[in-house]
Structure 1
Amino acid sequence: MEFCDVCRGCCHQPREQDHSSPTQVVLPRRGERLHHLHLYWKLTRGLCGPTAVGLVQNKTSDFGRVRRRVPMSVTINDVAKQAGMSVSTVSQALNDKGRISPPTKDRVRRAAMELGYIPDSRARSMRSSRSHAVGLLVPDIRNPYFSELVYAVQDQLYSAGYAPLIGVSSCQASREEDYYRILLSRHMDGVLVVPDGPTSPMLRTMLAREFPVVFVDRPDRALPGVPLVDSDPVPGLDAALDALATRGCRRVAFVPGPESRSYTFREREQAFLDGVDARQGLTGLVVRQGFEDRHRAAATMRRLLGQGVDAVIFGYSADAIKALAMEWDGDQRSRVPLVSFDDLEVFQLISPQVSVISQQVDRMGRQGVDMLLSMIEPGRQAPEGMSVDRRLRTQTLFVPRGLLA
């Protein structure tokens, strides 16, 4: 059967079909399906033309495959007709704008639900100059710390009516560049970034265009002045050192982590050294190497214990996990207190449990979203506690467990 050129196959009539008479009733033939029953009712009573029906014919080719015609999507005009209201009233009711009574809103939403209407976000973004979508870039989502950060950010964005576009750089500059290009091409309203590695040229371009950017967890020292939400390591480290001193520990080792990758690790090391200097009877030892893998971590831990170290603080949770995977000599695990940054679940599953310095990542993520939305939405207040240089710091908390509980 040949499809009609005028109605594009809606009426499924041969080419000699006469379209001069719009009131001519064209009933579906065998093998045709009707998606909109209310339009079929109008068609059979001459209330609309055949092109408005939305018939779909199943046509089987020689290979036995079925090709179906996809019906057109429902528009806001259809919702207005269904509800018996103007398009402007329907638009205000669906977007919670204007002085629309609750019964009218319910009527409009009921009509939209019956028709399966889904608002076009692209049209809304053209009208409001905002897409209500925000980017989030993290180095590695497999890291439980960043997974918790992603969850907190998306939850706060959802509460504010925004959708996240999550990207993972995998510590690769090329991926980071591509992600920023995607953000600009899709007209995102802003982006939350966990900086990692060298500064991206595309990020500099975005900042030059005054694109809303907020750093989370750590700063980029090459880009001063960019709004930042991170944690202050001093309160948590001071509390941990006090607990170790109370237990009788005298020689404490600190493993800062990969300092070359992040300013945060260097800041934690300095906070540790300052805390040790401020406490009589404590001596500190900084261990910058020896935790590249589990075997080296095991050898390094045995060496530290042989040097009289009676407690270890890890500035990087991944190093702590490597140390926990080693085979301890005798009952040393039950005698040596371990403390690590980041409150990961694995630290509660071993015996004795590992004490942690929590960065309150959930709070950090939510405050980062609030700071970004204050840059996007005029009149929205920034979170309380932000400094003059647009930096907001959450206080780290020491959570004693195991030997320090």
Structure 2
Amino acid sequence: MLTIKDIAKQLGVSVSTVSRALNNHPDIREETKQEVLEAMKRFNYTPNALARSLIQRKSNTVGLMIPDITDPFFSAMAHDVEEVLSENGYQVVYVNTSRRPDKEKRFLNSVMERKMDGIIVTPDFLDDDAKELLQRLNIPVVFLRRRPPEELNMPFVDVNHYEGACRAMEYLFSLGHRQIGFIGMPRYSFTGQERYRGYMDSLKKQGITPDPRGISWNGRTIECGYKAMERLREELPDMTAVFAANDLLGVGALEYTARNGVAVPDQISIIGFDNLEVTDLHWIKLTTVAQPRKEMGRKAAELLMQMMTDNLLTADSITLETQLIVRNTCSGIAR
């Protein structure tokens, strides 16, 4: 059976060009559109049911589901997603789920009602009902900064959180640290679990038995980081360094040290993860592992647009690299 790829090959153009011509996209020259139509007639080609349905219900509306608009990481990434999509003629509908599973499912139901062309999602919770809703959408879906379950054949744009955590730990080991505490995000968090796994495996590779007293599962905020640091200092007084699973937790740990006369990095080293703008303020200067937020947002938007243009329900996922950003909160220890 002839496909859109065969038409593109016959004409010597890309699949994207043929798809855009079928959708009457303004960027495609009229001559090209005519060539595509003539080729379709010549080869007796008819767009498949999915292509026809997508063309018929095209709304130029894209949904963006984020877990917490007050989190600077997600707000900045959402801005970059919206910028790319709006530049290409799409209206973006934001939904802030406040990390609530009921709001996630409510959004997925609304996608069907609004006949959106595609969605970008960063879910915290994905129970069986939510998975079923995603499968029933029958539109392009891109996961951003988390991986979909294996049963959902949908692409993602993310970093390797495990390797990023290992990179942070290797840096602390290179400075001579062995008693390293961990301030974690909520246990249900995929990214938090991956960073915790990197922390644990890194210790084991060094022949260090993880001390449960040095692990504090908490929330995501500065206040949570403050409380976690307070507990770790009480439980593990010999601790020389802390790996905070996100930057806000790291800033909270720094706030605790500042209020309690603990010198950073002379008495204790602290490293975070994300590279938020707050980490580079004049008094903080937090050493951290950077995620390319701007690139992640842009890549997710570009991937979704390609899927919508080519009428695809799946595509290759994109994994970006993390980078160690060395500032002022880590140093070697006296041997």
Distance 2:139 2:62 in 1: 11
CA gap 1:393/1:127 in 2 versus in 1, 3 angstroms: closer
Q: Does 1:184 align with 2:109?
A: no
Distance 1:271 1:128 in 2: 47
Distance 1:377 1:353 in 2: 43
Distance 2:55 2:299 in 1: 28
Give the one of 230, 236, 240 matched to 1:310. Answer: 240
CA gap 1:295/1:242 in 2 versus in 1, 3 angstroms: closer
Q: Which amino acid aligns with 1:265?
A: G
Q: What is the aligned partner in structure 2 of residue 267 from structure 1? A: 194
Q: What is the aligned partner in structure 2 of residue 333 from structure 1? A: 264
* Cα pair 1:251 1:283 within 8 Å, conserved: no
Q: What is the aligned partner in structure 1 of residue 43 from structure 2? A: none
CA gap 1:127/1:342 in 2 versus in 1, 3 angstroms: closer
In terms of Rg, which structure is larger? 1
- Per the TM alignment, residue 189 of structure 1 is displaced from its structure 2 partner at its CA by 0.4
Q: Which amino acid aligns with 2:191?
A: T
Q: Does 1:297 align with 2:220?
A: no
The size of the alignment, in residue pairs, is 281
Q: Which amino acid aligns with 1:400?
A: V
Distance 1:364 1:93 in 2: 26
Distance 2:164 2:126 in 1: 29
- Per the TM alignment, residue 223 of structure 1 is displaced from its structure 2 partner at its CA by 4.5
Q: Please give the residue correspondences for 1:250-261 in structure 2 after superposition, counting only pairs within 5 Å.
A: 250-260=178-188
Q: What is the aligned partner in structure 2 of residue 174 from structure 1? A: 102
CA gap 1:352/1:192 in 2 versus in 1, 3 angstroms: closer
Distance 2:240 2:62 in 1: 47
For residue 165 of structure 1, give the secondary structure of its aligned residue in structure 2: strand
* Cα pair 2:185 2:192 within 8 Å, conserved: yes
Give the one of 136, 139, 150 matched to 1:211. Answer: 139
Deviations 1:67-90 (A, max 9, x none): xxxxxxxxxxxxxxxxxxxxxxxx
Q: Which amino acid aligns with 1:373?
A: M
- Per the TM alignment, residue 217 of structure 1 is displaced from its structure 2 partner at its CA by 0.8
Distance 2:29 2:151 in 1: 39
Structure 2 length as normaliser, TM-score? Answer: 0.72
Give unmatched runs, 5+ long, in structure 1: 1-91, 101-124
- Per the TM alignment, residue 284 of structure 1 is displaced from its structure 2 partner at its CA by 4.6
Q: Does 1:374 align with 2:300?
A: no
Distance 1:244 1:94 in 2: 54
Q: What is the aligned partner in structure 2 of residue 322 from structure 1? A: 252
- Per the TM alignment, residue 141 of structure 1 is displaced from its structure 2 partner at its CA by 0.6
Distance 2:122 2:77 in 1: 10
Distance 2:243 2:29 in 1: 54
Q: Which amino acid aligns with 1:321?
A: V
CA gap 1:183/1:397 in 2 versus in 1, 3 angstroms: same
Deviations 1:331-360 (A, max 9, x none): 433422211111112211253521111121
Distance 1:379 1:138 in 2: 24
CA gap 1:178/1:331 in 2 versus in 1, 3 angstroms: closer
Structure with greater helix percent: 2
Q: What is the aligned partner in structure 2 of residue 395 from structure 1? A: 321
Distance 2:30 2:326 in 1: 53
Q: Which amino acid aligns with 1:378?
A: D
Cα RMSD (Å): 3.2
Distance 1:186 1:290 in 2: 37
Q: Quick one: percent identity of the two aligned structures?
A: 24
For residue 365 of structure 1, give the secondary structure of its aligned residue in structure 2: helix
Structure 1 length as normaliser, TM-score? Answer: 0.61
* Cα pair 1:173 1:200 within 8 Å, conserved: no
Distance 1:343 1:290 in 2: 19
Q: Which amino acid aligns with 1:363?
A: E
Distance 2:297 2:25 in 1: 32
* Cα pair 2:184 2:217 within 8 Å, conserved: no
Q: What is the aligned partner in structure 2 of residue 278 from structure 1? A: 205
Q: Which amino acid aligns with 1:267?
A: E
For residue 191 of structure 2, give the secondary structure of its aligned residue in structure 1: helix
- Per the TM alignment, residue 246 of structure 1 is displaced from its structure 2 partner at its CA by 2.7
